[in-house]
Amino acid sequence: MIALSTGSLYSYGIARVFELAALAGYDGIEVMVDPRWDSRQPAYLRRLSAECGLPLVVVHAPFVVGVMGWPDDQLGRLKYSVALAQAIGARTVVTHLPHRFYMITGHLHAYHPHRFKLPVLVPRFEPYYHFLCDGLAELEATSGVTIAVENMPSQRFLGFKFSGTWFNNPAAMEHFPHVTLDTTHLGTWGLDPLAVYERLRERVAHVHLSNFDGKEHRSPPDGRLPLAELLRRLARDGYQGIITVESDPSALDAEDETKCLAALRRALEFCRKYMSK
């Protein structure tokens, strides 16, 4: 099944994303919980699903704080996301890794439009960290929802790459019962998605598919990652999980709806072409 993430078009309203996904021919929807009210209202999501003929297959826990009505801590956001998945019939929840350091954020000066982040090298060991170590299996068993932990991109500080999250390497990800393999995030580390998939194959319950060309979340056909080979391997292995196209609006020509629809179809055709081989 090839799904579209509502996060791919976060600049659009939720209903518009559903409509475009249906027109493009996607098989389902991954709901990214974000500041849009509609992204977390079960009755409305179920109605959109019925109207567009698109099942709600995945919920992505919010990765930002300040989502109105939801907790700011990562563990609280995960538990709310599991409850939302149960309410809308989604079988999988995607959750991010725990933050590794505290961060200072701000503006360079009062009139500068860009924010900066500086890591404070004090390790964070919050309840969510310990929950991922010890509590995932129990929550999956009691909720009936698969919780797939997502690998994260590299970050840069003074020109050096570093990981802002714990467990962010293939060896450490083996600790989790289920993972979301995010291809563009692997690209930021210079890792081959196919090689990482081979290592984590028994745990890969979900795939976030997008390319990398120096920028993250490019459309699957556009970039330097061997995504065709990965899709072929998934097909050969009889992969039964969801593959979600998770691109950036800029990679889907979101400023023009006609071009955006064509870009969505092109991404889907790429996935189907190589999944059928």
* Residue 277 confidence (pLDDT): 62
Model pLDDT for residues 10-31, shown as the tens digit of each residue: 999 999 999 999 999 999 999 9
CATH number of 2-275: 3.20.20.150
Q: Tell me how crowded residue 30 is: count the other CB atoms within 10 A of its CB.
A: 27
* Residue 4 confidence (pLDDT): 98
pTM of the model: 0.91
Q: What is the 3-state secondary structure (H, E, C) of 209-264?
A: ECECCCCCCECCCCCCCCHHHHHHHHHHCCCCCEEEECCCHHHHCCCCHHHHHHHH
pLDDT score of 106 more than 90: no
* Residue 223 confidence (pLDDT): 97
207 vs 241: CA distance, rounded Å? 8
* Residue 199 confidence (pLDDT): 98
pLDDT score of 194 more than 70: yes
Q: How confident is the model at residue 157 (pLDDT cuts 50, 70, 90)?
A: confident
Model pLDDT for residues 28-77, shown as the tens digit of each residue: 999 999 999 999 999 999 999 999 999 999 999 999 889 999 999 999 99
Q: How far is CA 133 from the centre of its chain?
A: 21
Give Cα separations from 248 to 53, 80, 156, 220 (angstroms).
24, 25, 20, 11
Model pLDDT for residues 112-156, shown as the tens digit of each residue: 555 655 555 556 668 999 999 999 999 999 999 999 999 999 988
